[in-house]
Amino acid sequence: MYETTYHRASSVDEAATMFTKGSESKYLAGGHTLIPVMKQRLASPSDIIDLGRIKELIGIEASGDAVTVKAATTHCDVATSKTVQTAIPALAYLASLIGDPAVRHRGTIGGSLANNDPAADYPAAVLAMGATIKTNKRSIAADDFFEGLFATALEEGEIITAVSFPVPAKAGYAKFPHPASRFALVGVFVAKTKSGEVRVAVTGASQSGVLRVTAVESALQADWSAAALDDVAISDDGLFNDLHGSSDYRAHLIKVMAQRALAG
Amino acid sequence: MGVEGIGASVKRKEDRRFITGKGRYVDDIKLVGLIHAHFTRSPHAHAKVKGIDSSEAMKMPGVVAVLTGQQIVDDKVGNLICGWAITSKDGSPMKMGAWPAMAPETVRFVGQAVAVVIAETKNQAKDAAEAVVVDYEELEAVPDIRAAIKRGAPQLHPEAPGNVVYDWHIGDEAAVKGAFAKAANVVEMDLTNNRLAPNPMEPRSAIADYDTAEEHYTLYTTSQNPHVARLVLSAFYNIAPEHKLRVIAPDVGGGFGSKIYIYPEEMVALWASKKVGRPVKWTSDRTEAFLTDHHGRDHISKAEMAFDKDNKILGLRVKTHANFGAYMSLFSSAVPTYLYATLLSGQYMIPAIYAEVMGVYTNTTPVDAYRGAGRPEASYLLERMMETAARQLKVDPTELRRKNFITTFPYQTPVIMAYDIGDFGASLDAAMKAIDYAGFAGRKAKAKSEGKLRGIGVSCYIEACGIAPSKAVGSLGAGVGLWESAEVRVNPVGTIEILTGSHSHGQGHETTFAQLISERLGVPISQVQIIHGDTDKVQFGMGTYGSRSLAVGGTAIIKAMEKVEAKAKKIAAHALEASEGDIVIENGEFKVAGTDKSIALPMVALAAYTAHNLPDGMEPGLKETAFYDPTNFTFPAGTYICELEVDAGTGKTSFVNFVAADDFGRLINPMIVEGQVHGGLAQGIGQALLEHAVYDTNGQPVTASFMDYAMPRADDLPSFQLSHTTTLCPGNPLGVKGCGEAGAIGASAAVINAITDAIDNNKLEMPATPNRVWHAIHGKAR
Ligand SMILES: Cc1cc2nc3c(=O)[nH]c(=O)nc-3n(C[C@H](O)[C@H](O)[C@H](O)COP(=O)(O)OP(=O)(O)OC[C@H]3O[C@@H](n4cnc5c(N)ncnc54)[C@H](O)[C@@H]3O)c2cc1C
């Protein structure tokens, strides 16, 4: 690891101010992406600003039609939250599949979304449910947030403060884990909003990061059932093709995982 | 059996320190003035080193020295050696390129060291290593066997034309030809044995400490065989003579073969410690471990088996290409020859066998022994052949095996090995019973009705352990003898220290060896201390690998114990005024048989050391040494059966059951044996389903972290059902055979045989990842 200076912020405003003072600052939440990358000397922030202990960034709230997860809430807290389990069980289930217990007790939803790993789980839920990402500056719709591999709409120094999920009428998630990393080789989140719109997002599969699968969406819009997908053809264009999954295999898994997400 | 003697599953003595974090590994050792080394490594698989500019690095904070490959050559440090000479078919010796500890001219694999930075802290060394500017001229790389043997392929070493190290053979080619000529059926397969990265939990580490006044070196290192390390470092590398070099291998966190070898980093640390005049430490990180710990396996083979009309095997022909990577590691040459082809008879009567093995250089990390070393490759090949043959011949795979089992012993195979004893039918029966083999057809049909693909796979393995009779291995080209030594010291108050040349790095010797003493003397194991891993304490030893520690090292302990007991009996007889022949040892006491006269061990020991009243002419003290050279290998064998289901939608495999019936001879501590089998099975299953060290076409490793290299996790594995059938090994007094590698040797074929049964397609390579299995199902459907 290169030398760096650690700062612990006690409020979002303080963190944002601290950020501007460093020559190359980085926020730190659970550290389960940033620290390994720093240890491999692939990142060399001058300053790291720890968001992990900011009280206003931790917690889960439910209002009538939305569940709001604050940015520094850990995967474990989401997985075990009664609120989430009741309102959006698929989201609690998804969180329970992330990494291992150590990762789930440290890693946070804000960190996961800011990082936007193309094989991370949360982006599928956020995109499929049409969630809103709240930052210290604005609100960003899921459809506008993810901008490809490890890229998001966040501006320099912008802090995710919370994610607001509209409670769906129906939702499910199915993940086929990568044999080595256990991130998603293919993960599919299916959701039907209360207004009846079907949204389906896939993670792990595409070279453009998380994305919606329109072929699946339109089939499910007509008939919300696994059988409705039997004859849907998924193109393997632009899908990852690597040691653990060829693009045709991943295309096939999108369909299979979508069917299992419906069943789950 | 005493409560802590042979056959008792006592808890491991060493685990208290390991599970409370009190183990003392090389990296835990702190010396005054310690400084840190970090290597500048090649990012290219094949390149010329045109120049190294370390001027900027030298100016960086904390930097003490930057040393290069040219300096190591200038200082006449020897090249790394390969200790087993193999002769090709045509009588020529194997063709080896030079391997300097740091590359002065050419780098031949990604991760090869070209320079080392030594600095006050590890981080400073890392910072400065990035500032070392190496001018490379990239050369075309040869990333795998097929590319290496192509006509016109880039050449790695001028000494080895065509990238061929040797083209070796064993067996009787004409006899095999004859067998195939009269065959009723022939079964053929192309098989790949996938390359594995060893990944012990503790990465390699070395601390070298040079004492200027004494001109003496101490090397603390992660070694499975510190005496062999000292021997090689002094005899071949020109760093220090044996009496001026102490090698200490303290607690070592796993080896699996990868810590047998002497690596460049330890050599450089030693050499550098004198150059800079301070103790130098190097500890590998996980990425360096992936790049530089020597890999295992990596064969491609073609196998053909001839059967007569009654399904009796007539002959076996095998042609194997073995990948050695860029350089010949210490034992590498023996692995695909004498540790592989000599096991190709398996558990079967095969009248004629002929095997050819071509060893090739590629621009990859060197390949050497990894848990099982050659024997897993042989067992996998043979057991996939047997299962495939049964399917082709339309007979039950267990019946085909049983029909061809060797049933009388000793049995001389056509490929050197002479099996001393075994009962292969008993292990097969036990495993079939444990898994309810008879009921499988019903279970498969039921699974099918539920839309699931269920399969069963058998693997009947045999291995040669207890490595090895020195004369035999010497005649086959080994550079060392493979005996073991032990010293038993009874201290004046009756506690016992056992000094052994074996080295424990997870095997539990501190417990098992103490149990041997407990058995003989009737003393608790707490009274016995096992001392190993220090060339200043233990006189000599060949170390731990090849499941040899108990069969060879344990026997040496027994031999030394016999001498101690003989002397102690004399002392006891003298003290009790009885005849030596009447003395028996029970519960830590020396008794005159049939009387109530006795003297306790501590009193005998005290008498030996006070020497006030010893028999006339007897030397004081109670300490004896023995060297034991085995007369044969030992032959653990058994049957593994795996039942599993494949999810046709995803290609994912899930275990239903996995049973193991092993014959390891006598078990000293059954719990430790179980642990060894569990670990071995995990590695065998890991190879079958998950693990694969892969390079791209430019020789860049694509699996150099756990994000891409799939290590088995607990939930990838089934809960194992183990059992034992026992034939006592006639070759050693304990009747033991060894258990350390069996799981890794036998498991992979059972798994693949089960998957190919489930998906009804024999064309499947390891690792059978979901991606591959899905394609195998899909390819068939199309
Ligand atoms: C072994 C292992 C297994 C894993 N398995 C999975 C898996 O199966 N599925 C999965 O989805 N993930 C997995 N992860 C990733 C894990 O979920 C990470 O914790 C997560 O991706 C990042 O969250 P973090 O809180 O640790 O972020 P950090 O590592 O602290 O930060 C990550 C990035 O986000 C930025 N950041 C953090 N918080 C904010 C914020 N509030 N606003 C703006 N920027 C911010 C940081 O500056 C940094 O650039 C795994 C990680 C590990 C180590």
| Contact yes or no for B455/B468 (Cβ under 8 A) | no
The owner of tokens 């991760």 is B111
Q: Give the C-alpha separation, B336 to B369, whole Å.
A: 9
B313-323 and B352-360 as β-strands: parallel, antiparallel, unpaired? parallel
Distance from CA of B709 to the nearest CA of A (A): 6
Q: Is A240 on the interface with B (CB under 8 A)?
A: no
State both tokens at B333. Answer: 């040459």
Q: How far is B650 from chain A (nearest CA, A)?
A: 7
At residue B114, the pLDDT reads: 98
Nearest to B221 by CA among B281, B158, B141, B310: B281
**CATH code 3.90.650.10 for B483-628:** no
B769 touches chain A (CB under 8 A): yes
Is A25's C-beta closer than 6 angstroms to any atom of ligand 1? no
Q: Do B710 and A179 touch (CB under 8 A)?
A: yes
* Average pLDDT for chain A: 97
Q: Whose CA is nearest to atom 14 of ligand 1?
A: A99
User: Given CB atoms, is A253 within the 8 Å cutoff of chain B?
Assistant: yes
What is the mean predicted confidence (pLDDT) over A91-97? 98
Taking the whole predicted model, whether its pTM rises above 0.95 is answered as yes
B127: closest CA of chain A, how far (Å): 8
| Whole-number percent of chain A with pLDDT over 90 | 98
Q: Do B769 and A246 touch (CB under 8 A)?
A: no
A169-211, pLDDT tens digit by residue? 999 999 999 999 999 999 999 999 999 999 999 999 999 999 9
State mean pLDDT over A90-104.
97
The answer to whether residue B781 scores a pLDDT higher than 90 is: no
Question: What is the number of the ligand 1 atom nearest to the C-alpha of A34?
Answer: 29
A252 contacts on B by Cβ (under 8 Å): 774
CA B592, CA B583: separation in Å to the nearest integer? 5
> Rounded mean pLDDT of chain B?
96
Distance CA A99, CA B413 (A): 50
Using CB atoms, pick whichever of B649, B689, B769 lies closest to residue A244.
Answer: B769
Provide the number of CB pairs (under 8 Å) joining chain A to chain B: 45
Question: Mind listing the pLDDT tens digit for each residue in B37-57?
Answer: 999 999 999 999 999 999 999
Question: B688 CA to chain A: closest CA distance, Å?
Answer: 13
Q: Which residue's CA lies nearest to atom 37 of ligand 1?
A: A111
CA distances (Å), origin B73, targets B102, B235, B238, B276, B361: 9, 17, 11, 17, 23
Question: Count of CB atoms within 10 A of residue B339's CB?
Answer: 24
Residue of A nearest to B716 (CA): A179
In chain A, the domains with their CATH numbers are 5-50 (3.30.43.10), 55-166 (3.30.465.10), 170-263 (3.30.390.50)
3-state secondary structure at position B267: helix
Q: Which among B26, B296, B317 is positioned nearest to B183, based on CA atoms?
A: B317
Of A180, A249, A256, the CB nearest to B706: A180
Residue B714 CB contacts under 8 Å (≥ 6 apart), including other chains: none
Q: How many helices (H) and strands (E) does chain A have?
A: 11, 12
CA distance B775 to B757: 15
Q: Which residue of B has its CA nearest to A176?
A: B650
- How much is the pLDDT for B582? 97
State whether residue B438 sits within 8 Å of chain A by CB. no
Nearest CA to ligand 1 atom 36: A111
The percent of residues above 90 in pLDDT, for chain B, comes to: 98
**Cβ neighbours around A97 below 10 Å, total:** 18
Is the bond preceding residue B410 a cis peptide, omega within 30 degrees?
yes
| B782 has pLDDT over 50 | no
Boundaries of CATH 3.30.365.10 in chain B?
Answer: 140-193+295-406, 420-460+636-782, 483-628
Mutate to test the pocket of ligand 1, among A58, A115, A178, A202 (most ligand atoms within 8 A of CB): A115
What would the CATH number be for the domain defined by B31-139+201-254+259-292?
3.90.1170.50
**Mean pLDDT for the stretch of residues A56-84:** 97
A103 pocket-lining for ligand 1 (C-beta < 6 Å): yes
Asked if A30 is an interface residue toward chain B (Cβ–Cβ < 8 A), one would say no
- Choose the closest CB to A180 out of B649, B652, B709: B709
User: Shortest Cα distance from A245 to chain B (angstroms)?
Assistant: 5
Index of the ligand 1 atom closest to the CA of residue A57: 41
Which residue matches tokens 């393995």? B461
CA distance to B369, B377, B511, B751, per residue, from B739 (Å): 17, 17, 15, 20
Cα–Cα distance, B755 to B764 (Å, whole number)? 9
A233 interfaces chain B, CB cutoff of 8 Å: no
Three-class secondary structure of residue B663 per DSSP: strand
Average pLDDT over residues B665-674: 98
| B410 Cβ under 8 Å from any chain A Cβ | no
For residues B350 and B313, is the Cβ–Cβ distance under 8 A?
Answer: yes
Residue among A117, A243, A124 nearest A179 (CA): A243
Of A41, A179, A253, the CB nearest to B769: A179
Residue A194: strand, helix, or coil: coil
- Ligand 1 contact, A163 CB (< 6 A): no
How distant is the alpha carbon of residue B284 from its chain centre? 20
Nearest-neighbour CA in chain B from A179: distance (Å): 6
For ligand 1, what atom is nearest to the CA of residue A161? 41
Q: Taking a C-beta distance cutoff of 8 angstroms, is the pair B115, B102 a contact?
A: yes
- What local confidence, expressed as pLDDT, does residue B168 receive? 98
pLDDT value for B2: 59
Q: For residue B652, give the chain A residue with the closest CA.
A: A176
Backbone angles phi, psi at B107, to 5 degrees: -105, 145
Q: How far is the CA of A175 from the centre of ligand 1 (A)?
A: 18
Chain B: closest CA distance from residue A240 (Å) = 13
CA–CA separation, B37 vs B118, rounded Å? 4
**Residue in B126, B650, B707 nearest the CB of A181:** B707
- Cβ proximity of B278 and B34 under 8 Å: yes
B122 touches chain A (CB under 8 A): no
Which candidate from B702, B709, B771 shows the least CB-CB separation from A249?
B771
Q: Which of A1, A98, A155, A178 to mutate to test the pocket of ligand 1 (most atoms within 8 A of CB)?
A: A98
Q: Is the ipTM of this complex over 0.90?
A: yes
> How far is the C-alpha of B292 from the C-alpha of B568, rounded, in Å?
50
CB B176 within 8 A of CB B316: yes
3-state secondary structure of B766: coil
Contact B126 A41 (CB under 8 A): yes
Indicate the DSSP class of residue A238: T
Query: A115 C-alpha vs ligand 1 centroid, how far in Å?
Result: 6
Ligand 1 contact via A120 beta carbon (within 6 Å): yes
Asked whether the predicted pLDDT for residue B306 surpasses 50, the reply is yes
Q: Is A31 in the pocket of ligand 1 (CB under 6 A)?
A: yes
Segment (H or E) for B417: none
Residue B14: partners with Cβ closer than 8 Å, 6 or more residues away: B504, B508, B510, B511
Does position B653 have pLDDT exceeding 80, yes or no?
yes
Between A180, A253, A256, which is nearest B710 by CB?
A180
| Closest CB from B649, B692, B710 relative to A256 | B649
Question: B709 and chain A: CB distance < 8 Å anywhere?
Answer: yes
Q: Does B702 touch chain A (CB under 8 A)?
A: yes
Tokens standing for residue A179: 């044999």
Contact B650 A253 (CB under 8 A): yes
Give the HSE-up count for residue B615: Cα atoms under 13 Å, Cβ half-sphere. 16
Is the pLDDT assigned to residue B66 strictly greater than 90? Answer: yes
CATH code: domain B140-193+295-406 is 3.30.365.10
The CATH class of B420-460+636-782 is: alpha beta
Q: What is the pLDDT of residue B84?
A: 95
The model's confidence at residue B778, banded by pLDDT at 50, 70 and 90, is: confident
Task: Specify the residue with its C-alpha closest to ligand 1, atom 3.
Answer: A99
- Chain A within 8 Å of B136 (Cβ-Cβ)? no
The partner residues of A53 in beta bridges, in order of sequence, read none
* Residue A139, number of CB atoms within 10 A of its CB: 12
Q: Which residues of B480-514 are buried (b: 16+ CB within 10 A; e: fewer)?
A: bebbbbbbbbbbeebbbebbbbbbbbbbbbbbbbb
CB of A1 within 8 Å of a chain B CB? The answer is yes
